[in-house]
Structure 1
Amino acid sequence: MFQRAEFTLAQWQCFVAAAETGSISAAAGELHMSQSALSSAVQRLEKQLGTALFIRQHARGITLSSAGEQLLDKARNLLRDAAELADAGRNLRHGVNGELRIGCFVTLAPFYVPPVLTGLRERHPELRVNVLESDGAGLAAALRSARCDIALGYGLEVPEDIRFRHLLSVRPYALVATGHPAAGSDSASLRELARTPMVLLDLPETGRFILGMLEHAGVPIPEVVRTTNFETMRGLVASTGGFAILNQRTRPAQGSRAVHITDAEPVSIGMLYAGGVPANRRMAAFTEQCRKVAGELRSG
């Protein structure tokens, strides 16, 4: 027979907020409630569970106990499922609405985020979208902690607990200075490109992927000029007389042009989800819009 649980969602919300902030006062401020009310809610939860969730240290805040560490992810999932249930009920009447927290790989964001958000606003005006731009590791962490519902990223170095659904394949291309030996052709091999300095967009996954591409082709790594800024990278290509490797087609800066790389393998772009998180209509709307924008970018 089903046994009625005595604890409430509000108690679990207080527990998660306190665990994530490491402070009763900070958690109370985040939830817009008094410290005493939040502390009482957590204490009632501990009493009902029969175990301490925090180790309380005078003047040093709180830390999770062993039991608290084991229950934190389950509590996050419980709150997420409750929010999904409430949204599902509202969606039966109102369609796609509520809040959607999306992530986007930082180098894809300039190409996808503006048109995707425009499309979502036009088709689903009641949908509120929050955007997180990060690298692969940052997106995975955000998906695990429910700070992000779904993300657009590359199918590279995807952790085992994160699901990846392929959306499209893109073939890397090179941005070369107009004075580069390959600038007079529409295509070039990696060995031909590497005769000049390489401007590397020095983000963790991106940098490893590009350097690995050269190593896999047996091409010695040329002189490397590093930057973490996309616009700076475009300018450096022209000023150094070198080249850069990109996955997304962009308008070349003055003094540079784009060429195909003949020996580059395609790269997969797709949707990232936390394992075990069911898709909903908001996530489906985001996926649909990403697919539409991807088609437009490819045809363009």
Structure 2
Amino acid sequence: MMDIRQLRYFVAIVEQGSFSRAAQFLHVAQPALSLHVRNMEADLGTALLFRSPRGVEPTEAGAILLRHARIVLDQMTVAEEEIRGHQNDPSGEVRLGIPGTIGQILAVPLITAVHQRYPKIRLRIAEAMSGFILEWMREERIDLAVLYGQADDHGIRTQHLLEEDLQFFGPADGIRPEPLAATGTVLSLAEVASMPLILPGKGHGLRDLLDDAADKGRHALNIVIDVDSYNNIKALVAEGLGYSILPENAIAAEVAEGRLQSWRIDNPPVSRGIHLAYSASRPMTNAVTVVLALTRETLRDLARTGHWVGARIADGA
């Protein structure tokens, strides 16, 4: 079976017109060239070269091989140039899954950054709850994901990039006769747990995190309404039907406008991790590799610049 090296040697011998000149051109010992030609002739069962007064020339079979060898070598050159160009200017489709709450913050700056830096990449963003996104990763329906929580299983690797603070909040005028601490101050988790709470239902990532935090502190959450939509939670709180706990960024606008008031939670503080996930079981295309790096960079920039309110870069990220 002939290989690319043998074809290169054969073309060089014909073009140089002698084994000795070809050996000098290729920086290969002349006996090695002669051995390669003999092996090729043995594989093909026919002579490929003969010596004439003008030097080494191809036989009829050799001329056929020369024509095809040049085509093959030209195609290899084109392939190498295309691969190098792809490395410098990646192209293709990249599928990214993100929770809707993160999509509101990340999607526009990330799409803009990809479009500016890598115009040949088509970035598709799919939004869903973290649990669904993790399933998409396991089923290889998406290439990358931003998740709440780690998922280092089933051939998936995650990088812990950010921590997002959660805050307790209520209607601007309060709903209980006894006064709370001044807005902007700190409440303990025990105090927060005793308030009438409007929270996502069980199975929602945020609810599971709060349940775990309460269980560790041996507190019982006083939940009066279950509703998964952040917008509905905020609307119900604004109507005075209860308090809630959401990421600081989710309520920042309403707090700034005076429609809600908020308190930090301490003893212990409550936050959740933001993780960037990718497949460890299959090779990443160059397009996926650069989008992974750009997503990491964009997430850090959002926290560093304060565009993601309440987020901070995780230790070691």
* Shared fold, TM over 0.5: yes
Is the contact made by 1:185 and 1:259 (CA closer than 8 Å) also made in structure 2? yes
Give the drift of 1:189. 1.3
Flag the 1:109–1:224 CA change in 2: closer, same or farther, 3 A: farther
Counterpart of 1:193 in 2: which secondary structure?
A: helix
Counterpart of 2:157 in 1: which secondary structure?
A: strand
Counterpart of 2:305 in 1: which secondary structure?
A: helix
Separation in 2, partners of 1:141, 1:198: 30
Flag the 1:99–1:266 CA change in 2: closer, same or farther, 3 A: same
Counterpart of 1:276 in 2: which secondary structure?
A: coil
Task: Show CA shifts across 1:95-136 (max 9, x none).
Answer: 243211001123322222233223322333332111111223
Is the contact made by 2:148 and 2:205 (CA closer than 8 Å) also made in structure 1? no
Partner of 2:296: 287
Structure 2 length-normalised TM: 0.59
Percent of aligned positions that are identical: 22
Partner of 1:129: 123
User: 2:279 is matched by which residue type in structure 1?
Assistant: A
Q: Which runs of 5+ in 1 are unaligned?
A: 2-86
Flag the 1:282–1:298 CA change in 2: closer, same or farther, 3 A: closer
Partner of 2:86: 91
User: 2:102 is matched by which residue type in structure 1?
Assistant: L
Counterpart of 1:214 in 2: which secondary structure?
A: helix
Partner of 1:60: none
Q: Alpha carbon RMSD of aligned pairs, Å? A: 2.8
Partner of 1:150: 144
Counterpart of 1:194 in 2: which secondary structure?
A: helix
Give the drift of 1:278. 3.8
Higher Cα Rg: structure 1 or 2?
A: 2
Partner of 1:160: 153
Separation in 1, partners of 2:136, 2:145: 9
Structure 1 length-normalised TM: 0.62
Give the drift of 1:183. 5.8
* Aligned: 1:255 with 2:259: yes
Structure 1 runs, 4 residues or longer, greater than 3 Å off:
87-90, 180-183, 252-255, 297-300
> 2:272 is matched with which residue: 257, 261, 267?
267
Give the drift of 1:231. 1.0
Task: Show CA shifts across 1:52-91 (max 9, x none).
Answer: xxxxxxxxxxxxxxxxxxxxxxxxxxxxxxxxxxx96652
Q: Which runs of 5+ in 2 are unaligned?
A: 2-81, 310-317
Separation in 2, partners of 1:163, 1:123: 25
User: 1:130 is matched by which residue type in structure 2?
Assistant: R
Flag the 1:112–1:167 CA change in 2: closer, same or farther, 3 A: same
Counterpart of 1:165 in 2: which secondary structure?
A: strand
